[in-house]
Amino acid sequence: MGDYEPVLLRNVGVEGAATIGVYKKRGGYRALAKALKMTPDEVVEEVKAAALRGRGGAGFPAGVKWGFLPKDRDVTYLCVNGDESEPPTFSNRVLMENDPHQLIEGTIISAYATQSSIAYVYLRVEFHELFHILQRAIDEAYAAGYLGKNILGSGYDLECYIHRGAGAYICGEETGLIESIEGKRGWPRNKPPFPAVEGLFHKPTVVNNVETLCNVPHIIERGAGWFTGIGPPGSSGPKLFCVCGPVNRPGCYEGPMTITVRDLIYGDAYGQGMIGDRKVKAVLPGGISMGILTGDELDMKMDFADPAEYGLLGLGTAAAVVVSEDTDIRVVLRSIAQFFAHESCGQCTQCREGTSWMYKIARRIAAGEGGPGDLEVMYETAGNLGMMPGLSICGLSDGAAFPIRTLIEKFRGELEQHVREAPDEIEQRSPSTVRS
């Protein structure tokens, strides 16, 4: 992939790229000027033709989502999801820190296409410095006439605000995000009605994530044909991939969705192999909520279709957590279960209680106190969580279930061995460490 030319990350590392002057010198805001000469429907159709799928995890086609808005609406809102709460995802942060005007331009074009009058950028509260970078960029855009009244003399008006969340994973779900912006507890809403019909302040609303909107200016400037020419059908366009863990070069990289997990770990343009030439034991390739691969499944393509062939929930955020051969798989199980038990909003009984039970069992197994039936109870509990079985309001519990179910399926032998050896492990520990 050495000949791939970065698109989304083209300005990363360029001095002053976060300023409007440098952004414009490098071609910024040309797509906006072009879009404003098109009709909103023409912009929507171009994005549909590009088959741009959401980069936030679900992979839903952005143009199709925009098309769900009712024709007779009077007020429309655009919410930009910059919460980025999926471990270990940091691609949106890289975009906003290094190239905030790319996001602003994509936001304005998308707002124009959907005829939104107000855009809210929902930003994770922990992004302290990023907040100031983005606010300076928004101020620059206002001063240059790209935000506010009569943008570039087009007659189109748009106000843009940053809304800082409180750091809750559940607010990455679009209706939880909307509730948070409204000043309420970030509990997801029952659907229908969907946000396109009744969203923020009970008005039609579009919610897209940062990376999705950063693709929009390039589609408008270069055309849908250019976009669909990158990557396989159904998974077109440039994509950001994160990789972390014991790899030689962890980071955020860009490429087409033709790369494999093996490429992401070992490729010269990506992770450049494992530290100390250790072997890969497991990979969570789409953030932790999509499920887990074994070290023998590294040829999975990082696109929207192939993960299902490996029993995963989807591509997710395309952020890979690499687990080395010297890692106890029980620790991975416990960490995943702990995260979702902590982040469940508690609104749905099966999610609130199920994630808590799974964490208690995982903690017991990791402490060497696991019983013969524990794995089966965890597996059965995970099978009764989520929107897919029709038992929850949002998809958090699906995200909690898939990594646990796939981990138990693919590492059952190792886990069962630990459970069989549990009495010996307990005898070798002091009482103070057994329940740590």
CATH number, domain with residue 379: 1.20.1440.230
> Which amino acid, residue 67?
G
Q: Is 373 exposed, middle or buried (0-12, 13-18, 19+ CB in 10 A)?
A: exposed
Nearest to 256 by CA among 227, 279, 276: 227
CATH number at residue 261: 3.10.20.600
Q: In terms of DSSP bridges, do strands 239-244 and 251-255 run parallel, antiparallel, or are they unpaired?
A: antiparallel
Q: Specify the residue for token string 């935000």.
A: 147
Q: Is 71 exposed, middle or buried (0-12, 13-18, 19+ CB in 10 A)?
A: exposed
Between CA 233 and CA 273 the distance in angstroms is 29
Nearest to 56 by CA among 290, 357, 334, 326: 290
Of the residues 276, 300, 324, the one at which a domain ends: 324
pLDDT tens per residue, range 130-146: 999 999 999 999 999 99
Q: Which helix (H) or strand (E) holds 156?
A: none
Q: Are residues 210 and 246 in the same domain?
A: no
Q: Are residues 72 and 218 in the same domain?
A: yes
Tokens representing residue 418 in the block: 């630990």
* Helix, strand or coil, per DSSP, at residue 188: coil
Q: Phi and psi (nearest 5°) for 148?
A: 105, -145
* Helix, strand or coil, per DSSP, at residue 151: helix
Between CA 137 and CA 131 the distance in angstroms is 10
Report the sign of the C-alpha dihedral through residues 110, 57, 211, 221, in that order.
negative
Q: Is 65 exposed, middle or buried (0-12, 13-18, 19+ CB in 10 A)?
A: buried
Q: Are residues 210 and 258 in the same domain?
A: no
Q: Residue 129's CB: how many other CB atoms inside 10 A?
A: 8
Could you tell me if 332 and 291 are in contact, meaning their C-beta atoms sit under 8 angstroms apart?
A: no
* Helix, strand or coil, per DSSP, at residue 378: helix
Q: Are residues 26 and 151 in the same domain?
A: yes
Report the sign of the C-alpha dihedral through residues 230, 232, 238, 242, in that order.
negative
* Domain assignment of residue 69, yes or no: yes
Q: Are residues 77 and 172 in the same domain?
A: yes
pLDDT at 424: 56
Could you tell me if 381 and 357 are in contact, meaning their C-beta atoms sit under 8 angstroms apart?
A: yes
pLDDT at 435: 38
Q: Are residues 183 and 49 in the same domain?
A: yes
DSSP class per residue in 233-298: TTS-S-EEEEEESSBSS-EEEEE-TT-BHHHHHH-TTTT-SBGGGPPEEEEEBTBGGG--EETT-T
Q: Are residues 154 and 33 in the same domain?
A: yes
Q: Are residues 342 and 320 in the same domain?
A: no
pLDDT tens per residue, range 339-382: 999 999 999 999 999 999 999 999 999 999 998 899 999 999 99
Q: Is 169 exposed, middle or buried (0-12, 13-18, 19+ CB in 10 A)?
A: buried
Count of structural domains within the chain? 3
Bridge partners, 242 (sequence order):
252, 319
Between CA 38 and CA 427 the distance in angstroms is 73
Q: Are residues 270 and 368 in the same domain?
A: no
Which value, in Å, is the radius of gyration of the alpha carbons in the chain? 22
Of the residues 277, 307, 324, the one at which a domain ends: 324
The domain in which residue 162 lies consists of 20-228
pLDDT at 342: 96
pLDDT at 2: 55
Q: Phi and psi (nearest 5°) for 8?
A: -70, -30
**What is the model's pTM?**
0.93
Tokens representing residue 352 in the block: 């609130």
pLDDT tens by residue, the chain, 436 residues: 457 899 999 999 999 999 999 999 999 999 999 999 999 999 999 999 999 999 988 889 999 999 999 999 999 999 999 999 999 999 999 999 999 999 999 999 999 999 999 999 999 989 999 999 999 999 999 999 999 999 999 999 999 999 999 889 999 999 999 999 999 999 999 999 999 999 999 999 999 999 999 999 999 999 999 999 999 999 999 999 999 999 999 999 999 999 999 999 999 999 999 999 999 999 999 999 999 999 999 999 999 999 999 999 999 999 999 999 999 999 999 999 999 999 999 999 999 999 999 999 999 999 999 988 999 999 999 999 988 888 899 999 999 999 999 999 999 999 999 988 865 554 454 444 333 3
* Domain assignment of residue 91, yes or no: yes
Q: Are residues 159 and 272 in the same domain?
A: no
How does DSSP classify residue 321?
E
Could you tell me if 397 and 350 are in contact, meaning their C-beta atoms sit under 8 angstroms apart?
A: yes
> Which amino acid, residue 120?
Y
Could you tell me if 386 and 395 are in contact, meaning their C-beta atoms sit under 8 angstroms apart?
A: yes
User: If phi over 0 gives left and psi between -120 and 50 gives alpha, with beta otherwise, what is residue 83?
Assistant: alpha
